[in-house]
């Protein structure tokens, strides 16, 4: 069975169909890349899956459970993690506090009352080695550079340990070396996680994607491996406008 099954998904914003009868599925351990021109509905699709936006029609099933009407935090507890396009870390908290927060295996009030703020950070901070932030542990996240902020958010998602991770432009603003490193991290992640990645950087997509889904004006335009997509005439038309 597929881990995530999206069927006839649609959402309207004041008459505009941002996502139009979209259907696709993602298998466990797969990395699916969403491509498409600006305004194609890629980020909106992620918003619909994680609950930031409510769909006007269609269904979203995670491991067979219908989630399209659930509140955000319930979906997160079922194992959906989200990285936003604009890096969304807590700027007033330290790096360690951000990670402790992301470690949300026990999200209830009682367990939060019986643990110190950084109890969960100890195990979580191993991850900082992998994203080159180990010496910034006690720094306020607001003082990190843009690339470091991106990595902190990626680290938070790894620590959150969601089965399905939605990444919105994870390499935006990164240097080539940083992007390569991120691709490496993603490949290791896919051993135990499923990823849906929205990304514009084609060389990054080539390295990480198992499968690619191209969207245009809210609908699916093409689906396939990188080679199939690059040979697809519809895709060329959508991107170049001919």
Partner 1 sequence: MTSRFHYDLIALVIFAVVIAFGVPALMNYDGFELNTFARYLALAIVSAALALSWGTAGLLNLGQAATFGMGSYAMAMHLKLRASDGLPDFMGWNNVPELPLFWVPFESLAFTLLAGLLVPAFIGGLIAIFMFRARIAGVFVAIITLAFLVAFQLLVINQQGQTGGQNGLTGLAQLTLPGWTVDPYSMGFYYLVAGCLTVALAIGVYLTHSKFGLILRAIREDADRTRFFGYNVATYQTAIFCISAALAGWAGMLYTMVLEFASPTYMGVSFSLAIVIWCAVGGRESVIAAAFGAIVVNLLEGRLSDVFVEGWHLMLGVIFVLVVMFMPRGIYGLLTDIGARLRGPNRRQSPAKARPSPTQHLETGQEP
Chain residues that interact with partner 1, rule: CB under 8 A: 50-52, 71-73, 76-77, 81-82, 84, 88, 90-93, 97, 100-102, 104, 107-109, 111-120, 139-140, 142-143, 160
DSSP 12: E
CB of 67 to partner 1, least distance (A): 13
Cα–Cα distance between 206 and 4 in angstroms, integer? 22
- Least separation, in Å, of the C-beta of 143 and partner 1? 5
CA distance 173 to 130: 19
**Exposed (0-12), middle (13-18) or buried (19+): which is 47, by Cβ within 10 Å?**
buried
Name which of 117 and 176 has its Cβ closer to partner 1.
117
Closest to partner 1 by CB, 112 vs 176, is 112
What does the DSSP assignment read for 125-152? TTHHHHTT-GGGTTSBGGGS-HHHHHHH
For partner 1, the closer CB: 139 or 210: 139
Closer to partner 1 by CB, 116 or 191: give it.
Answer: 116
CB of 3 vs partner 1, minimal distance in Å: 18
Min. distance of Cβ 141 from partner 1 in angstroms? Answer: 10
The least distance separating partner 1 from the CB of residue 124, rounded to whole angstroms, comes to 12
CA separation (Å) from 242 to 84, 202, 213, 237, 238?
32, 21, 20, 5, 7
Q: Give 55 or 81: the residue with its C-beta nearer to partner 1.
A: 81
Residue with tokens 């491996």: 225
């Amino acid at each position: 069975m597929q881990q995530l099954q999206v069927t006839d998904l649609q959402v309207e914003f004041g008459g505009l169909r941002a996502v139009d009868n979209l259907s696709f599925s993602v298998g466990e351990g797969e990395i699916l890349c969403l491509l498409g021109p600006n305004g194609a509905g890629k980020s909106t699709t992620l918003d619909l899956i994680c609950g930031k936006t409510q769909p006007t029609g269609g269904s979203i099933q995670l491991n067979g459970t219908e989630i399209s009407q659930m509140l955000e935090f319930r979906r997160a507890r079922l194992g959906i993690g989200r990285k936003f396009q604009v890096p969304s870390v807590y700027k007033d908290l330290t790096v360690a506090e951000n990670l402790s927060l992301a470690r949300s295996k026990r999200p209830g009030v009682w367990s939060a009352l019986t643990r110190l703020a950084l109890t969960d950070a100890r195990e979580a901070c191993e991850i900082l080695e992998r994203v080159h932030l180990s010496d910034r542990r006690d720094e306020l996240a607001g003082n990190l550079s843009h690339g470091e902020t991106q990595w902190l958010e990626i680290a938070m998602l790894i620590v959150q340990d969601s089965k399905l991770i939605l990444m919105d432009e994870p390499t935006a603003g990164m240097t080539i070396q940083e992007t390569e490193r991120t691709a490496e991290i993603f490949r290791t992640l896919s051993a135990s996680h499923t990823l849906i990645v929205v990304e514009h950087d084609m060389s990054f997509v080539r390295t990480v994607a198992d499968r690619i889904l191209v969207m245009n004006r809210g609908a699916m335009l093409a689906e396939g491996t990188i080679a199939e997509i690059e040979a697809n005439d519809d895709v060329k038309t959508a991107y170049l406008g001919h």
